[in-house]
Structure 1
Amino acid sequence: MAHWSSGYVIDVDYTHGFYQELTPSLLSFLTLLQGVQAPDLGAPLAYCELGCGQGFSTNLLAAANPHIEFYATDFNPGHIVGAQSLAQSTGSHNIRFYDDSFADFLLRTDLPDFDFICLHGIYSWISLENRRTIVEFIRRKLKPGGLVYISYNTMPGWASMMPLRRLLLEHTAAQGSRSSSPSRVTNFVDLADALGKLDTRYFASHPKLAKRIEKLKEHNPNYIAHEYLNQDLEPFYFTDLAQELAEAKLTWVGPANALENLDDVNLTKEQREFLARIGDIALRQMTRDHIVDQQFRRDIFVKGAVRLSAQQVRERWLETRFALTARGSKIPRELRGLRHTVKLHSGIYDPLIAALEPGPRTLREILTEPTLAQAGFNRLTQALTILVALGSCQPCLPVQGAGERRLTTERFNRAIAELSRFERKFSHLASPITGGGIAADRMAQLMWLSLQDKDTDMIRFVGDVLSTAGQRLLKDGKPLSDAEHAAELRQRADEFGENTLGVWTNLGLCDPPQQKSEQRRLRA
């Protein structure tokens, strides 16, 4: 009888990451960039994540989108226990977790049809049989007009790594560490490092491998186990993946990454002209992957593409709200692509950022600013796309339902921040404005918690939390003295008040009436 794991790593947990591309509002915006109709975010929707890992992304999205019913499965019961526990602690009632295999999930009769089906990374780590099951699940359960987000390892970027991975797996198995993934990870990385120093012809023929191994040493060991040590690891050519998904009646929409839409900074003029002569979309994408040596792809597919007219695209752009996720002065004034770095024109970006700093605004509202109206619709849509590509701006949910979202995200964020008293596990909070995650390290979460508790001394509050947990801040990997520790806490509190508090207020994480008084208190 086959083991239930089917060769998948189960003796170490996956990481607790949040993956922004899973966010419905962002997927809708990226679909609009391609002129394709997406599910109506103002309507009740159903969302499914296959292979949800620890379930943190799904939990966060459920809190930020209470109008959407979320369903998620991961066959590792340890992951699901943690995900269900988090959902219970955050009070989310619109999410259901299952520890089903894909085959078992396919046979369920208690699932709705879905507007979104999302898979982050998992498709590269499973067998052909499981991939066929997923395709059948999408064929049966995705609504017409529904979106699929899928990310996966890609050729040719993995071409040099695959033979080395096979060799390293054989070595670790021969050393008798097959039963323990943590020890296999250690042996895997040590062997890769040792081979890289042997002046081998293989490494000489693949010069980027040395840099890849150096980066490998910096990764979370749990990530390495799931990325490299599974029985199955399949990097795909885009044409093969598109052919598999065509069996579920899916059509490619575009990349689930705003930067990937900006070929002017990623490709040379000659490369763009060469690709433009290729009529077949899948072949064009496969060719592009070879031009840029693509290693990982994030793609959006749709079941029944409805092309919007130019006027419909314009109207939807005008009604879309946008919010900054960074203080204006901290937003980069240049965009680095694969080929070019473009300086952002201050005559457009400075007034655009200034218009968004007070809070979220629709493009229609932005165009009421005389300077920006002069720039025109097309230049502003390009500028907003670039700000999204920089990670400094996010498309927002409709105003409708904002009050309910505020309540559900407050419960979620408090639960996450309370957990940060004890450990650094989660790195995002939920925004009721964007419907997605906002990067928040442990210190920022504790400072946010002090505001929620109306504590009058943020520095003392955070210091007491760390002291109770038997922890201290480090600098350059070394513990700080009492005086240095107090100074570091004050500096971080000042930075939070200066660069984060106002942004988080606009994103719905903090109470607006308290903003000015809290900023004054932080500087006191």
Structure 2
Amino acid sequence: MANWSAGYVVDVEYTHGFYQELTPSLLGFLALLQGVQTPDLSSSSLTYCELGCGQGFSTNLLAAANPHIQFHATDFNPGHIVGAQTLAQAAALTNVRFYDDSFAEFLTRGDLPDFDFITLHGIYSWISPENRRTIVEFIRRKLKPGGLVYISYNCMPGWVSMLPLRRLLVEHTAARGAQLSPQSRASTFLDMADRFGKLDMRYFANHPKLASRLDKLKNHHPNYIIHEYFNQESNPFYFMDLAEELAEAKLTWVGPANALDSLDEINLTKEQREFLSGIDSVALRQMTRDHMIDQQFRRDIFVKGPVRLAAHQVREKWLDMRFALSARGARIPRELRGMRHAVKLQSGIYDPLIAALGSGPRTLREIVADPALGAIGINRLIQALTILVALGVCHPCLPEPGVLERKLHTDRFNRAVADESRFERKFGYFASPVTGGGLAAERMNQLMWLSLSEKNPDMAGFVGKVLSEAGQRLLKEGKPLQGEAHEAELRQRVADFEQNILGIWTSLGLGAPSPAKSVEQRRLRA
């Protein structure tokens, strides 16, 4: 392995995922839930940095959806950066820069701005103490006062049973061949786990949750398994220790970067909530909570000098915030399950709220103007919206001004993504100019969108031709379809797209791209 890797896996590419929690509008929503001021997303001078960006897909998508923000991202694997730059060029993005610097090299650059947002997804658990100190120093120097940090990481106590087994499995995998392909390494790792599970090991008996955890790993991409388990460093943190490290960068914990984690009523018992309320120390309270739910992965928001907003300021910010659905009302679950309890969505609240949002993005001010919804009360509506966000079917949005210009950028990005789908399933998300984030987009749906963008009314014929040119067929029950069965399946998928997806995509700014000239003219007139 190369010396510059510092024990980090570099011979296997990371996956091309999009991580919703990195989205500025979502981070602003979650901070507002805690009554904390965050960078103004309507500002035209915002800056954003992702440390350890992997393939850079998240950064590129966010840059397309937020052209008013300048993005910078680094990953010391040059193969990742080449791919990220290639996608940025294909999408004609001018507000993103990628670097193949180590964290130490990135710290000493003199051409970086100070940042409003600094984000790290997962990376903090996989690097050496020296690199963690470098990151903390980078945040201390480069994060603006009032700036926000998103950090996700493996944590204790949820990892306590996996750590010793991880070491054993990695050593056995290495003993079977250091030059194994990623697929073979991941397969050997899982095969050895199965064998150990059948050897009546007391370790497995003493940790009964391991079997289901290892079983879930079988559904992950081999490259994910390699990056999650084969790095030299594996450091799950107690929250208290992580908060202490980040305090050196003048950071204060604000809250979870996950709407579900903010709903303690369904994650904890009444007795647990009462016990936690009696703990004055934020760090000790969070560490205790992690033991209550056996937390193994945390997503957290920290702010450098958080400003607590007055009640009237919080109310005005809520009223101005826009929300949009990413699913048809009939497809939205009417129950949200937490760690301990499930909450059923009351039809008297959610039916009119979902109906109001079903016609397009709405501010909370517009929602409460409806007499039926206004009678529910702003606090209960905020709770309902939070639950819909936790379900993943509702998203906080960017301000409406500038949406036409943002669409010019997301159209180009989505076209670059969809063009890749002509040949393979590589990217699974489109960018939305409305939410400023990503929207899950299956390969077939990307190709149907591509058909619309090319003004081809025969979506089934277009997709069939693309698949044929790539030497591919649709599968059903694991078998390739032929002849009329293939055509019928294509028509069925097109019908589902038109009925259940296209309308939602259009409301989120993913309708067929408009001619650039007419969009620009409308923008100038506005």
TM range (shorter): over 0.9
Larger mean Cα displacement after TM superposition, 192-201 or 302-311: 192-201
- Measured after TM superposition, the shift of residue 480 of structure 1 is 1.4
Provide closer, same or farther for how the CA distance between residues 38 and 156 of structure 1 changes in structure 2, counting only shifts above 3 A.
same
Corresponding position of 2:110: 109
Corresponding position of 2:157: 156
Corresponding position of 2:224: 223
Distance in structure 1 (CA, Å) of the matches to 2:176 and 2:331:
50
Indicate yes or no: 2:190 matched with 1:189.
yes
8 Å CA contact retained: 2:182, 2:222: no
Deviations 1:1-58 (A, max 9, x none): 9800111111110000000000000000100000000000011200000000000000
1:463-502 correspondence runs (5 A): 463-502=464-503
1:256-405 correspondence runs (5 A): 256-405=257-406
Distance in structure 2 (CA, Å) of the matches to 1:373 and 1:168:
57
Provide closer, same or farther for how the CA distance between residues 504 and 393 of structure 1 changes in structure 2, counting only shifts above 3 A.
same
Corresponding position of 2:41: 41
Provide closer, same or farther for how the CA distance between residues 312 and 166 of structure 1 changes in structure 2, counting only shifts above 3 A.
same
Distance in structure 2 (CA, Å) of the matches to 1:210 and 1:178:
28
Corresponding position of 2:167: 166
Corresponding position of 2:23: 23
8 Å CA contact retained: 1:9, 1:181: no
Distance in structure 1 (CA, Å) of the matches to 2:171 and 2:419:
44
Corresponding position of 1:205: 206
- Measured after TM superposition, the shift of residue 178 of structure 1 is 5.9
Corresponding position of 1:10: 10
Structure 1 residue identity aligned to 2:342: T
Provide closer, same or farther for how the CA distance between residues 178 and 275 of structure 1 changes in structure 2, counting only shifts above 3 A.
farther
Structure 2 residue identity aligned to 1:344: L
Deviations 1:228-260 (A, max 9, x none): 000001000000000000000000010000010
- Measured after TM superposition, the shift of residue 179 of structure 1 is 6.9
Distance in structure 2 (CA, Å) of the matches to 1:108 and 1:244:
23
Distance in structure 2 (CA, Å) of the matches to 1:119 and 1:226:
15
8 Å CA contact retained: 2:418, 2:446: yes
Structure 1 residue identity aligned to 2:426: K
Structure 2 residue identity aligned to 1:40: D
Which consecutive unaligned segments of at least 5 residues does structure 1 have? 515-524
Corresponding position of 2:449: 448
Distance in structure 2 (CA, Å) of the matches to 1:512 and 1:167:
52
Corresponding position of 1:244: 245
Q: Which SS does the other structure have where 1:47 is aligned?
A: strand
- Measured after TM superposition, the shift of residue 183 of structure 1 is 3.4
Distance in structure 1 (CA, Å) of the matches to 2:414 and 2:514:
19
Structure 2 residue identity aligned to 1:447: M
- Measured after TM superposition, the shift of residue 481 of structure 1 is 2.5
Structure 2 residue identity aligned to 1:426: F
Distance in structure 2 (CA, Å) of the matches to 1:411 and 1:172:
43
8 Å CA contact retained: 1:431, 1:507: yes
Larger mean Cα displacement after TM superposition, 184-193 or 488-497: 184-193
Q: Which SS does the other structure have where 2:388 is aligned?
A: helix
Structure 1 residue identity aligned to 2:371: P
1:51-200 correspondence runs (5 A): 51-177=52-178, 181-200=182-201
Distance in structure 1 (CA, Å) of the matches to 2:513 and 2:329:
18
Distance in structure 2 (CA, Å) of the matches to 1:90 and 1:167:
44
Distance in structure 1 (CA, Å) of the matches to 2:42 and 2:57:
24
Larger mean Cα displacement after TM superposition, 256-265 or 478-487: 478-487
8 Å CA contact retained: 2:453, 2:513: no
- Measured after TM superposition, the shift of residue 346 of structure 1 is 0.3
Structure 2 residue identity aligned to 1:328: G
Which consecutive unaligned segments of at least 5 residues does structure 2 have? 516-526
Distance in structure 1 (CA, Å) of the matches to 2:177 and 2:490:
47
Identical aligned residues as a percent: 74
- Measured after TM superposition, the shift of residue 175 of structure 1 is 2.5
Distance in structure 2 (CA, Å) of the matches to 1:470 and 1:143:
52
Distance in structure 1 (CA, Å) of the matches to 2:2 and 2:62:
35
Corresponding position of 1:522: none
8 Å CA contact retained: 2:321, 2:364: yes
8 Å CA contact retained: 1:11, 1:180: no
Q: Which SS does the other structure have where 1:4 is aligned?
A: helix
State the number of aligned residues. Answer: 514
- Measured after TM superposition, the shift of residue 198 of structure 1 is 1.1
- Measured after TM superposition, the shift of residue 100 of structure 1 is 0.1
RMSD of aligned residue pairs (Cα, Å)? 1.4
Distance in structure 2 (CA, Å) of the matches to 1:513 and 1:185:
45
Deviations 1:334-366 (A, max 9, x none): 111111111101001000000011110100000
Distance in structure 1 (CA, Å) of the matches to 2:301 and 2:20:
14
Q: Which SS does the other structure have where 2:104 is aligned?
A: helix
Distance in structure 1 (CA, Å) of the matches to 2:286 and 2:294:
12
8 Å CA contact retained: 1:177, 1:183: no
Corresponding position of 1:520: none
8 Å CA contact retained: 1:74, 1:98: yes
- Measured after TM superposition, the shift of residue 399 of structure 1 is 1.2
Moved over 3 A (4+): 178-183, 511-514
TM value normalised by structure 2:
0.96
8 Å CA contact retained: 2:50, 2:73: yes
Structure 1 residue identity aligned to 2:124: Y
Structure 2 residue identity aligned to 1:287: T
Structure 2 residue identity aligned to 1:154: C
Structure 1 residue identity aligned to 2:452: L
